[in-house]
Structure 1
Amino acid sequence: MKPHIYAAAQASSINHRANRLLAALEPDDFAALEPHLHGVSLRQDQVLYEAGDPLRHAYFPHDTVVSLVAVLKDGRSAEMAVYGREGALGLVSAMTAVQSFGRYIVQATGTASQIELERLHEVMRIRPKVRQLVLNFAEAMMARVLQNVACNAVHSVEERCCRWILSMHDRLDRDAVPLTHEFLADMLGVQRSTVSSITRSLQKAGLIRQSRGVITVTDRAGLERASCECYGTVRRSFERLLPHTYRNTSATVPPRPRQCS
C-alpha cells in the first residue's frame, strides 16, 4: 500500500523540520531540499518496501517509526535497523544501492517527509553540507548495526527488549507506545511467549504498564538500568556524529559498569 501524500492545502501545515535530521540543516541547505519534500501519512503495519524492491524515495519520519526487517524463508523475521525522527530511511541508498535489503515496515502511525532519491542526489551534488549530513548519518547507522550484532550475540532477551522499548520511547516522545507482543517478538527474533513473560516481569517491577496493543513507560530511568549497555553506546554515537538529533533530553542514568550476559 502506497503512502498517502497530502493535498496542497494539507501539505502547507506539514512541518518538515519535525524531523530532527532536516532540522539540523542550515537554512540555505534546507531551502534547497524543501521544494522536493512532500508530506505523507504512514499507517502502522504498512509495508513501504519488500526485499529486492527498487528504492525510489527517502523518508524522514516526524512522529512515526519504521523498521528494516530481514524475513527468512521459513517466515521468521528479525529487525536489522530502525528509523525515527532522528534520521531517515533510504538516505544510504542515495549514495549506493538501488534495491531494498529487506522489508521496511511502519511500526507506529504518523507522518513523514518524502523525497525522490533522484532529487536528493541533485541537492547532494550542489550542497556539500547536505552530503556531509548524509555521510554522518550513514556512519551513525553503521555503528548502530555493528552494535546490534554484538548485542544480539551476548545480551539477554530481557535486556534487548528493554533497549527496544527505550528506542521506541525516544523516537515517539510519548509514554504510550503502540506495541503488540507479536510485533515485538518479530523484531527481537524470539517467541511471543518469551516476550509476554518478559513484559509481565517488567510490569511487576513497575517499569511499564501493559494494555491491549500498547506498552506505557512508567519508569524510564529503571528501564534504562534494566537495558544493556548498547542503548547508551548507540545513543552516544548519534550525539557525536549528529548532535541534537536524538531525544530532546539527555539520558540521566549512567552506563552500567558490568558487562551484560
Structure 2
Amino acid sequence: MNYQFSDVQGHPWLGPPIDTRPLFAPEQAALIATLRGLAPADWRKEAVPGWTVRDLAAHLLGDFYGRLARDRDGQVGPGFAPGETLEAFIDRINEEWVVAFSRVSPAALIDTLDLVGGQVVRYFESASLDALSLGVSWAGVDPAPMWLDLARELTEFWTHRQQIRHATGQGTDPDPQSMSVVLDTFMRALPHTLRDTTAPVGTQLRMCVDGPAGGTWTATAAEDRWSLAEPDLGHPAAIVHLDAETTWRLCTRGIQPDTALARAGIEGDRAVAEAACRIVSIIV
C-alpha cells in the first residue's frame, strides 16, 4: 500500500504539536558561544562532506536571512531551474551562498550570525503554531503546520551546531532538554517513513530511544496511513531500541541505516523494524 499525505489542516497523525519557540534563544546563544570558542585552525576543518566549519557557519547565516526575507519581509526568492528537483534546487542555492561568502572572515560571520540570528529568534517566538507554513518533505506534509515547520528549523540549527562541535573535537552537546525535543521532532518522520510498508490495520511499531533525552513513539497502521496519534496498545508487532546518539545521527544521515541496525535492539517483525530504521528527518 502506498500511503498518500495530502492532508487536511490539523494533521493529527503527526502526533501532538511541539512548541519549540522557547528553545530558539538558548540554541542561538549556544551557537554563538561555540563559534566564539573556536581556534583559527578550527574554521578550516571539514564539518560535513565538502564544507568546512566556516562554510557551515555561512550556510546557517543563509538560512537566517532566507527565513526572514521570505516569511517576515515577503521577499520573493530565487526559483527552480527548468526540470530541477527540490533537492537539487536546495543544493544549488546553498552552494551559491557558501561560495559568495567565502570572502567573509570568521569574525564577521560570528557578528552577523549574532545580529541576524537574534532577529530570527524574535520572529519565531512571535509565530502562531496553528498557522500553515512551509512544507516538511521528510514528514510528507505540504503545507505543514507552523509547529512542525519551526520544530524542523530547530533541528536543523541544532544539528549544524553538533556538526561544528564534532568537527572541532567536541562531542554532542549533552544537554538533554534540546536533544529530547530534536528527537521528538525527528520521530514525526515515522509515518512517512513507513508509507510503503504494508501491514494490517492496527499493527504497531514502537520506537524506543534510550537515555535521558530519549522517549518512546508508537506508529500505528491505519486505513490510509501510519499514524502517531493512536495509543500504544501494549502488543507492538515490532520494537526498535536505539541510543540517542545513534538516533539523531541516523535521522540526519550522519550514519547509514545498516550501521543503525547493527547497533539496534530489535524485537518482533524484523521487516517493519528495518523499514523504520530507514527514517530520515532532513532533505537528502
What is the TM-score when the length of structure 1 is the normalising length? Answer: 0.31
Q: Which has the higher strand share?
A: 1
**Greater share of helix:** 2
